[in-house]
Amino acid sequence: MRRSFLKKNLLFWGQGRGIRRKNSNRNPVYFEIRMNAIRKRQRLSVLIVLVCCLILINIVFLYKDNNVIPYSEFTYPVKMNFSENYKVFKTEGRQPAFNIINPHPFKYIHLRKKCKFKENGTPSLLILVKSTVNNFHLRDAARTTWGNSTGENIEIAFLLAHREAEQPEVDKEAALYGDIVQESFLDSYMNNTYKTIMGFNWAVQFCGQASHIVFVDDDHYLNIQNLLTFIETLNALNKGDLMIGNLLKHSIPYRSRFSRWSVSLQQYPFDRYPPYLAGAVYLVSRDTANKMVFAFPYVKYLGIDDAYLGIVARKVGIELQHEETFIIPPFLLYTDPSQVVYGEFKDVTDFEIVNRVLHRFAEVKMCIFTWKCQFSFLL
């Protein structure tokens, strides 16, 4: 029955087109037949769309698995006493007697030169910008604005993974600016954690004097002055553990296969993540970075990098802290860049909110505008 219905429709469809070609639209009978066919087809389309929606809703929202383990029973491989093993490692240089379950077998393609901080008692800040290979324009925007903090005790590095097609351009960029840290793994969302681990590893090995490290995504605007002021209020020059940002306490893993952040039960079987700092920006101290780097090889990989850091921090015993200024209050966003530690820019339209006059500017110019804006507000 369905087939015949479709056939009829197809027939009309064909006829209709034939008719149109002969330009017989003015014949009211043919016109009425054609309109009927169109209406029928429309009804059928609506029905199909509705059914599809229902199926989707089912998959996305009602997907439930009985094998989910409550977070109260949280354990995560490897089971070992990290603080005890870290103490042994620090005093005797001995690695734990556990197998490495999160190997990091990647080679540096570009290695930024070592940091050179002044030992003058002020905080030494390393900025690590997690960047996607093809975001050349965003890196340029950062370099010419907030990332160009010459004169301050600040160093900046861009963290990149690898993509064959863009590599020649990255090579040029690295030669020109010398601020790129790149490893050989493929640049993809679920490899993000490798990028973050690379940043920690590089910072500890080549930038060990940094008292503080701030991680930031390449589509964000960091207000350095506010950040430095904030670090000073912490009154902690590399004194112990610090990991601070926008703390999420009750995050639930995405299970829908359509989500970018989807995680299977094999990867992570619990109904909640440990508390973790939301990805876009967070600040860590030197001691904390050292502990994290020690722990990474012994904590099972998870592609969601901010949640993964939360797991590692929990295992190592680092207490995460929440800081309001690391969140962008929606009402403040872009209206007064001096008030927030950072702001987000995804494309030109975002920046139009800053000033409607700046309609046709490219992203870099938008960023420069915010840069100038920041200083005019500070004056």
Ligand X SMILES: *[C@@H]1O[C@H](CO)[C@@H](O)[C@H](O)[C@H]1NC(C)=O
Of 156 and 283, nearer to ligand X (C-beta) is 156
Alpha carbon distance 212, 317 (integer Å) = 19
Using Cβ positions, the residue closest to ligand X within the complex turns out to be 188
Instruction: Choose among 220, 258, 45, 249: nearest CA to 130.
Output: 220
Of 327 and 366, nearer to ligand X (C-beta) is 366
Of 161 and 231, nearer to ligand X (C-beta) is 161
Using only the alpha carbons of the chain, give its radius of gyration.
27
Preceding peptide of 299 cis, ω within 30°: no
Alpha carbon distance 24, 151 (integer Å) = 78
Alpha carbon distance 180, 112 (integer Å) = 6
CB 258 → ligand X: shortest distance, Å?
A: 16
Of 70 and 105, nearer to ligand X (C-beta) is 105
Of 30 and 185, nearer to ligand X (C-beta) is 185
Show Cβ contacts of residue 4 under 8 Å, excluding neighbours closer than 6 positions. none
What residue ranges bind ligand X (CB under 6 A)? 81, 83-84, 143-144, 148, 150, 185-186, 188, 190-191
CB 375 → ligand X: shortest distance, Å?
A: 12
CB 264 → ligand X: shortest distance, Å?
A: 13
CB 253 → ligand X: shortest distance, Å?
A: 17
Backbone angles phi, psi at 200, to 5 degrees: -60, -50
CB 271 → ligand X: shortest distance, Å?
A: 23
Token pair in block for residue 316:
């190592």
Token pair in block for residue 193:
């954690």
Provide the β-strand partners of residue 270: 69
Alpha carbon distance 137, 16 (integer Å) = 50
Distances 224 to 2, 173, 220, 277, 340 between C-alpha atoms, Å: 65, 24, 12, 20, 10
CB 147 → ligand X: shortest distance, Å?
A: 8
How far is CA 15 from its chain centroid?
53
Of 248 and 304, nearer to ligand X (C-beta) is 304
Of 161 and 327, nearer to ligand X (C-beta) is 161
CB 15 → ligand X: shortest distance, Å?
A: 50
